[in-house]
Structure 1
Amino acid sequence: MSFTLATWNINSVRLREPIVQQLMQEEAPDVLCLQECKSPVDKIPTEGFAALGYTHMVARGQKGYNGVAIFSKIPMVEAGSEDFADLGHARHIAGTLENGVTIHNFYVPAGGDVPDREKNEKFGQKLDYLADMRDFFRREALTKSIMVGDLNIAPREDDVWDHKKLLKVVSHTPIEVEKLAETQDAGNWVDITRQDIPEGNLYSWWSYRARDWDAADKGRRLDHIWATSDISNAGHSSRVLRAARGWEKPSDHAPVFASFDL
């Protein structure tokens, strides 16, 4: 079975329902994973999505913040969720497709503004969350799995607009990059996006603060698609839909795509 998957931090699924539907109509991924839905599950606008063929959903929600959901045209059953770092946040959901592939959808904490856990509780929570993810992957020894989401870390020098300037900025600090690498190694995960696009600057997020985000192009690659090593060779056709960052009332993130032949 071949399918295309997209991951997108939507920054409120209800507020941005029109552009979610636009993506579903124009790009039509078989599976769409959303983060930062900012909605209880029962308030997610599923009716319009189902009318476009997305009749299967697994989700975890909260009022006003966090929240993750997977919408699928392919039959899918829930495969659980974890509360990493015991934060009580809706940041993880998993669903298994009818071909046996399990998709894990994550929204890793952003970590605040100061990269020091002694001065900034949120940064400590982010590091603890990553450590719990690492331990979970080691314990579960996942196979035939895909992991997507807003991981809130741009690991490579060419994943940010200026490596040196961002070394002390949360999302690109050495300790975050190190912890993300540990998490990746623990699950034998392969970064599908960079497997397909090994060289060159690549971003999926541009701040709302920029007067002209497109011209300034001060981006970061915070959104990721990984696959376990047993199926990584099946991944292909990775891309970032940069144009979506310029849609009406946009998220500050752009959707990231990959296709799999499994």
Structure 2
Amino acid sequence: GVGTGEHKWTPFFKRLWGLIQVFKPRTEIVDENKDAADGYHGKVVPFEQAKQLVSIKKPIEIRNLEKILPYERAKDIVMKNPDHIAVLECPCRAARKNPCKPLDVCIIVGEPFVSFILEHHPEKARKITSDEAIRIIREEDERGHVHHAFFKDAMLQRFYAICNCCSCCCGAMQAMRNGIPMLAPSGYILKIDQEQCKGCGECIEYCQFEALSMVDGKAQVDEEACMGCGVCVEKCKRHAHELILDSRRGEPLEIEKLMEQVVS
């Protein structure tokens, strides 16, 4: 009880406070863009749903988590749906005072999602070709940024977008650091060939999830923190890193099933 230790609701409120810190309102953003909250995060937790969150009497499970995508899988999604693609200004980056550039890195895939975004955010979105979408994904991959597949209740609980972002701007990745599970692993985990690793440390610099460290002059992976994004695999010049399937990290996204959702 209260005053005799940690209350049973304390862990929940710690997570809630962490989320509030990630998505603290900034008045200058709201003043400049009156529909920012409604268009991006405003529909995620309206007041009535917020009340339900604090009154529910059983564990809260966050479903439809964003899924981490290695570069090749992100590219495959675009290649299999070339006719309906748009790029949207990243709301996470746009909400920062000094965001990473460029801002146009959120890729919307399939109908009716592309038409919806173009109609409601014509000043922030534009239709693009599959070649341009792949270029955006590739360039973000080269910058060491992570690809997420979006699944949202507001979008019929279906896959609808590929986010390409960084831990300094991405609300979902920052929420993860505050103990709020908003991302699901890719289904892969990193394996490091210790004989090939020369301890240059470049992979540690690029890891967005702080899953790598140097031990006795060699890179080591924290398997609990690794999300299987593959950024370090691309950066290792000695090819000491590879992603391997790991059943503990869930199943990789099946591209064919995703595309059935997009076109259905």
Q: TM-score, normalised by structure 1?
A: 0.28
When Rg is computed on C-alpha atoms for both structures, the one with the higher figure is 2
**Normalized per residue, which structure has more helix?**
2
Q: TM-score, normalised by structure 2?
A: 0.28
